[in-house]
Amino acid sequence: MKVGIEPLLKLKGIEKSFAAKVLDNVSFEIEPGEIVALLGENGAGKSTLMKIISGIYTADVGHISFENSTLILKGPKHAQKFGINIIHQELNIVKNRTVAQNIYLGREPKMSGFLGKLGFVNYRLMKSDTEKALALVNARQIDPNQQARLLTTAQLQLVEIARALSMDSKIILMDEPTSSLTEDQSDILIELIKKLKSDGIAVVFTTHRILEAFGIADRFVILRDGKLVSDVPAKSATYENVIEWMVGRPIQNLYPKTKVAIGPEVLRVEALSGGINKKSDFTVYKGEILGFGGLVGAGRSELMYLLLGVNRKKSGSIFLYDDEIRIKNINDAIRLGIGFVPEDRKNQSLILGQSVRFNVALAGLKQLFKKGLFISNNTIDRTTSEYIKKLSIRLHSSKQAVRSLSGGNQQKVVLAKWLLLQPSVLILDEPTRGVDVGAKAEIYQLLGELVSKGITIILISSDLPELIGLSDRIVVMSEGRIVKVLEQEEATPHQVMYYAGLNEKTAEVVNERNLQP
């Protein structure tokens, strides 16, 4: 912190609890024209903190002062009056309205006189003001009368920033502004953030792309489990420090890796392309857990969708036990013995309103439970209770709606659904997301048992300790490509994060600052 400059915003002892404590005694300051990178793992409390600063949440405990006077915000609109604006990860744009209408949504300039009192909008003024705002974000090419849905995500982001600027912002908070942008688009955004800085506007942003943060931030504020663990000038931090602060806990012993002898090749993928994925190759062996690491949007789930026939592949071949297989849809994959636990439990895996029994039996209905025309409820009951016991799913009755189970037990229901099909390959996409610690350990245990029974597992995880602790090898992806395959011995969080953030642009920063792990 430079001496003599008055901080714009001061946070002192901020605490916030929902069910559990999300923020615990967080204090830091933001100076005018400063760029702060707010870093931390998923669930570290970054978003909550941003929402408190922007008036969406109020802190349970703590004190905020703005320009040296106490600030008590009644809501986001109120925060805007002080020049504090937030841009959410999910952009807040009404797609079927024009750019100008979006920028002035809820505060449209009215016509003068009587007509204005009736609520008539002064479109000409709105348009010219929008043009000015767009000029501030170097986006003169966007037509204020263009429908928002015709713009790219990056352009929409610029529109959001233009909206913030049109409200005379002093602080702009950005939650994961680059997560859905391509490299080039990110560049434009980064340039813009630098321009905002030179205009004296402070920017606080979160990102999972740590290398990117090294490129622009003046300061790193790092949160872990709701606590502020570090607040340092960017210049004095090393990549290793940052990762250690973020991850911070001893890793290895949480993951009792059962060593299984690696067998012959089971699944091989050659030059698989389609969607954002480009020419990906990988091989999995019997008894192996193959981890997939990378940032959100790196194309890990999408690669699996291509493999499983959920999305159509453009080219590439898939070999099972060295025989080329053709998978047109997920049904083919299931028949060949590949199971898939998708990322989003509520939307992709479970019929929440139906019973545990119903959900467990769903995928196996045709293969296992059909006798002639009809399904055999007896067999279903028997198999269901067998798997409920095996996976120790805690419930009152198998007729209970899945909705009423805890996250961990819900995930076990999904696992049961696939395990009773006795797959030879099981693909798990973020299997422990939203699962409590106890159930996590049980799921890890289960994965160990599965590989020792000879099942091959592909594990996508954004939880680094989990990914590294469980996987025999880790495939790291970035922007639709496989950039590195790490053996378990050499895999560290630094390594994974380094390769996950690697692309042409960040490579420059890496070289400049000598950040290579």
Binding site for another protein (CB under 8 A): 310, 329-331, 333-335, 340, 342, 347-354, 358, 361-363, 365-366, 369-370, 373-375, 377, 401, 403-404, 417
Q: DSSP character for 352?
A: T
Closest CA to 199 of 34, 30, 2: 34
Nearest distance from C-beta of residue 330 to another protein, angstroms: 5
Residue 130 identity: T
Contacts of 209 (CB under 8 A, 6+ apart): 178, 295, 501, 506
Task: Dig out the tokens for 103 from the structure.
Answer: 């920028």
Burial of 153 (0-12, 13-18, 19+ CB in 10 A): middle
Nearest approach in angstroms of CB 377 to another protein is: 7
Q: How far is the CB of 380 from another protein (least distance, A)?
A: 10
Q: How far apart are CA 455 and CA 415, in angstroms?
A: 13
- Of 377 and 445, the one with the shorter C-beta distance to another protein is 377
Q: Within 10 Å of residue 261's Cβ, how many Cβ atoms? A: 9
Residue placing its CB nearer to another protein in the complex, 28 or 305: 305
Which SS3 state, helix, strand or coil, does residue 350 take? coil
Q: For another protein, which is the closer residue by CB, 140 or 370?
A: 370
Q: Which residues, including other chains, have CB under 8 Å from residue 244's CB and lie 6 or more apart?
A: none
CB of 445 to another protein, least distance (A): 25
Closer residue to another protein in complex, CB, 38/308: 308
CB 485 within 8 A of CB 302: no
Nearer to another protein, 114 or 374 (CB): 374
Please give the Cα distance from 337 to 323 (Å, whole number). Answer: 14
Question: Which C-beta is closer to another protein: that of 205 or that of 340?
Answer: 340
Beta-bridged to residue 87, according to DSSP, are: 174
- The residue among 262 and 368 lying less far from another protein, judged by its C-beta, is 368
* Residue 365 CB, nearest approach to another protein (Å): 4
| Nearest-approach distance from CB 301 to another protein, in angstroms | 12
Full strand arrangement of the beta sheet holding 69-70: 21-30, 9-17, 61-66, 69-70
Q: Is 106 left (phi over 0), alpha (psi -120 to 50) or beta?
A: left
Measured from the CB atom, is 329 or 511 closer to another protein?
329
CB 337 to another protein: min, Å? 12
Residue 443 Cβ vs another protein, minimum distance, rounded to whole Å: 19
**85 versus 301: smaller Cβ distance to another protein:** 301
Nearer to another protein by C-beta: 404 or 422?
Answer: 404
Identify how many contiguous H helices and E strands the chain contains and give both numbers. Answer: 19, 22
The two tokens of residue 309 are: 């026939």
| Distance (Å, whole) CA 464 – CA 479 | 18
Closest among 344, 315, 308 to 427, alpha carbons compared? 308
Least separation in angstroms between CB 29 and another protein: 45
Q: How many alpha carbons lie under 13 Å from residue 119 in its C-beta half-sphere?
A: 1
Q: How far is the CB of 335 from another protein (least distance, A)?
A: 8
